[in-house]
Structure formats: structure tokens, C-alpha cells
Structure 1
């Protein structure tokens, strides 16, 4: 299983950079999204120690939960981006605070509902480990992005230095 995880992570390393912003994510290459999703599935399956039978039952339920959670968060982000022009800034901010609290409550309700469903498929210990596995995967992706950005910056600096040297030689 660790070999599979390593292979998927290597596939992920070869994928182009992707951004967290939803607008940009929707424009990215579908193959990149698929690679990231496959890496996520492999990583979480490995981290939770899911058996093939558990994984087969777990992932459809968990995908459904994730999609519903993303829909909730998307509604809130859209409200943040598009304040009501007929209201004052203060009123829009108050509305956003209220909406944020409602979304959090809906998210908790959703987690309760799906934790019951997931407990029928996996043990409580594995379910308890799920948020940590997700956090580690997200952190791994963020670390990867930072490394790639750092490498890109170093390449650009090297190109700039080479161009400066060429210009100095030509002068």
C-alpha cells in the first residue's frame, strides 16, 4: 500500500501547479484534478488502513459528504464575493457573520448525519483519524506548491543573472 501511495504522490509531483482558489480550480486541467483526487484517495485509504471492502463502501459515502460540504462553503464564499449593493458595508458584514454561523451549524449537522453513515462502514477509530489524514494530505499539497514556487523563483533568478552576465559581456 505504501508503494501505491508513493507512486500516486510521484504522479502528483509531475502534475502542474494548481491553486486553491475555486475559480482557478474550476479552470484547471481535468486530468490534474483526477490525479489529485486519486492521490487523495490513495493517501487517505493508506492512512486510515482501510481494507478493500471498507474502501469500496467508504468512498461513495465520503464523496457525497464532501460534495455537500463543498456546496455549503461555496455558498458562503459567493456571498462574501458579492455583497448586496443596496446595503451598507456594516449591514453586509453583519449578514456575512450570521451566514457564516449558519453555514458552520449546517456543516456540523452534515458531519453528524454522515458520521452515522460512515460508522456503519468503518470503525470509530478510523473515522476519528479521518480529519487528521485530510489535514496531512492538504499540508503535503501545500508544501509541494511552496517547493515548486521556490524552484520556479530560483530558476527565474538564475535566468536573470545569466542575462545580466551576457549583457555585461556584450558591453
Structure 2
């Protein structure tokens, strides 16, 4: 077998492996999303009318928040990690400005989200939603930790 054939085969195997990992991550994210929807639906006790208006707003918000938190933030962190040892102060300042802009976008997104919800559910449920999201994240983290401890045993 020629070296070029071996290299092509390796690239093919690597691409399949990375695609499988990507699909697995998407599947895991969808699974968590479903768990969260079930949790919030139960705990928020939305009427049918509230739910019909709430979920499209919430889903759009979550998708945009995920993009800002993960895609943009990871890009900035990657940029920092690639050049941290040779980064000039000017480059660091530009990167810091980009990070600040990303945080500001997140803040404005959350503010717009709350404003959009005000006409859909009462303010008490908006506050409860914020608490429930934190509760869900803690619950998810606890499950993850417990899974890790079980594997060690």
C-alpha cells in the first residue's frame, strides 16, 4: 500500500471520527434541551395560551445565546490561546474589546428576551424562569458529577 493511500485512509478515518463526535455532541445537546423543556414546562405551569407564545420566544433566545456563548466565545478564546505568548498589547486590547462586545451582546439579548416575555407571561413567572434555569443547570451538573464518581468506583 502506498504512503499516499495510507494518508488518505487516515484522513478518511479521522473525518469519520470527528463527524461521529460532532453528531454525538448534537445528540447530547438535543437530549439536554428536551430535559430542560420538560423541566421548565412542569415547573412554570404555563397555560396552553402562554406555552404557545412562550416556547418560540424561548427557543429563539436559547439558540442565539448558545451561538454567542459558544461559537463567538470559543473563537475569541482560541484566538487568545494561539497567540498569547506573542500577543502585543494592542492585539490584547482589541481582543478584550471583542470579548466586551460579546458580553454586551449577551446582556442585550437577555434584556430583549425579558422584554419579549413581559407580554406573554406575568413578571412573577419571568423571575421564576430565571431561578428554574439555574436550578436545572445545578441539577444537570450534579448528575454529571455523580456519573463521574460512579465511573471511578
Q: Same fold (TM over 0.5)?
A: yes
Q: Which secondary structure state, in structure 2, belongs to the residue aligned with residue 28 of structure 1? A: helix
Q: How big is each residue's C-alpha offset from its partner over 1:1-50, in whole Å with a ceiling of 9 and x where there is no partner?
A: xxxxxxxxxxxxxxxxxxxxxxx984426544333211100111222221
1:46 pairs with 2:42: yes
TM-score, normalised via structure 2 length:
0.73
Q: How many residues get paired?
A: 131
Counterparts in 2 of 1:142 and 1:34: CA distance versus 1, 3 Å: same
1:101 aligned partner: 100
Larger RCO (CA within 8 A; separation ≥ 6)? 2
Which sections of structure 2, spanning at least 5 residues, go unmatched? 1-19
Residues 46 and 77 of structure 1: is their aligned pair in 2 closer, same or farther, counting only changes over 3 Å?
Answer: same
Structure 1 residue 53: Cα displacement? 2.3
Cα pair distance change 1:126/1:26, threshold 3 Å: farther
The CA distance in 1 between the partners of 2:30 and 2:87, in whole Å, is 42
Gaps of 5+ in 1: 1-23, 155-171
State the match for 2:72 in structure 1.
Answer: 75
> Equivalent residue for 2:16?
none
TM-score with structure 1 setting the length = 0.66
Residue by residue over 1:102-124, the C-alpha shift from the partner in whole angstroms, topping out at 9 and shown as x without a partner, is 11211121122222211111111
Which shifted more, 145-154 or 113-122? 113-122
Superposed displacement of residue 65, structure 1: 1.0
**CA pair 59-95 structure 1, distance change in 2 beyond 3 A:** same
